[in-house]
Amino acid sequence: MNRVSRRKLITTGLAAAGGAAGLAVANNLAQRYGLIPPDSSVLYGTGETLTYAAQRILTRHSMAREFPRSEISKIPFVNGAPPKGEAFRRLQAGGFADWRLAVNGMVSRPASFSLSELKSYPSHSQITHLACEEGWSYIAEWTGVPLSHVLDVAGVLPQARYVVYFSMQHRWWDSIDMADALHPQTLLAYGLNSGELPVGNGGPLRLRVPRQLGYKNVKYITRLVVTDDLKKFGKGLGSASPEAGYAWYAGI
Ligand SMILES: Nc1nc2c(c(=O)[nH]1)N[C@H]1C(S)=C(S)[C@@H](COP(=O)(O)O)O[C@H]1N2
Ligand SMILES: [Mo]
């Protein structure tokens, strides 16, 4: 599908969603923000573009629901197994003292952070719902440093548009736009339900982005790259998810 007809679809969707906002205003907004998701050329692209653009314009700053402590699920589900192989095993045996999170790309101060450095930054806790696309979900308390804080320390350049994040499990990498990256509930999480983040749930460090589905919450994060262009990564669709048939934008 070409750019012009895609834009027409966004416009139509936004006009329907925005009601009184009107066609001209919606068209302007979609163009100004460049609200075409990176995987818009694949099969489900049309619907994704509508969802993404409408969400960004209508609910850009909204918060994921937070729950009282009494609603925390008895057992946080664990999906998948921790990284296999010697490197992870050795890090785990050392209590993750040698774990590092590298941050580079469009930043003025590329850096590498140890867990204790990350833990020395202001921490944030939230009790939120993690929903897997397969239908199961749970409520848990997540503790970590807001991603926005780490991005501030690294000095994100003004032209940055996305943050790409990579797991020690190389199959798992993903990205979010700056609206989600700077969102106050988006954390680099190292704690779960008042304890350390268990290895099964992504310990020592995972991304927690409660406004998107479970699969965007990548575990065992070791590297962040700030960029203005997702085409450079993988097959250019923004993450491993669309390469496997899932949407890049999984907003809830
Ligand atoms: N590295 C990595 N990250 C991952 C996964 C995984 O298998 N490996 N599974 C994803 C999926 S599909 C979901 S639903 C959530 C589940 O998180 P949990 O195992 O902590 O419940 O993690 C996501 N992040
Ligand atoms: Mo999932």
The full set of domain ranges for the chain reads 6-59, 69-243
Task: Render pLDDT for 25-70 as a digit per residue (tens, 0 to 9).
Answer: 555 555 566 677 787 765 555 566 667 877 777 766 689 999 999 9
Among 45-54, 72-81, 168-177, 207-216, the minimum mean pLDDT is found in: 45-54
At the second CATH level, the architecture of 69-243 is: Alpha-Beta Complex (3.90)
Ligand 1 close to Cβ of residue 132 (< 6 A): yes
- Are 144 and 123 in contact by the 8 Å Cβ rule? The answer is yes
DSSP state of 96: T
| Ligand 1 closest atom vs CA 172 | 1
For ligand 1, atom 11, the nearest C-alpha belongs to: 215
Cα torsion for 64, 65, 70, 71, to the nearest 10°? Answer: -80
Residue nearest atom 8 of ligand 1, based on CA coordinates = 219
Question: How high is the pLDDT of residue 37?
Answer: 78
Mean pLDDT of 82-102: 97
Ranges 14-23, 49-58, 169-178, 214-223: which has the least confidence:
14-23
The answer to whether the CB of 202 is under 6 A from ligand 1 is yes
166 in contact with ligand 1, CB cutoff 6 A: no
Higher pLDDT: 126 or 37? It is 126
- Residue 10: per-residue pLDDT: 52
Q: What is the number of the ligand closest to the CA of 169? A: 1
What is the per-residue pLDDT for 108?
A: 97
Helix, strand or coil, per DSSP, at residue 33? helix
What pLDDT is attached to residue 23?
44
In terms of pLDDT, which residue wins out, 102 or 79? 102
> Cα–chain-centroid distance for residue 243?
17
Q: How far apart are CA 46 and CA 5, in angstroms?
A: 10
114 lines ligand 1 (CB under 6 A): no
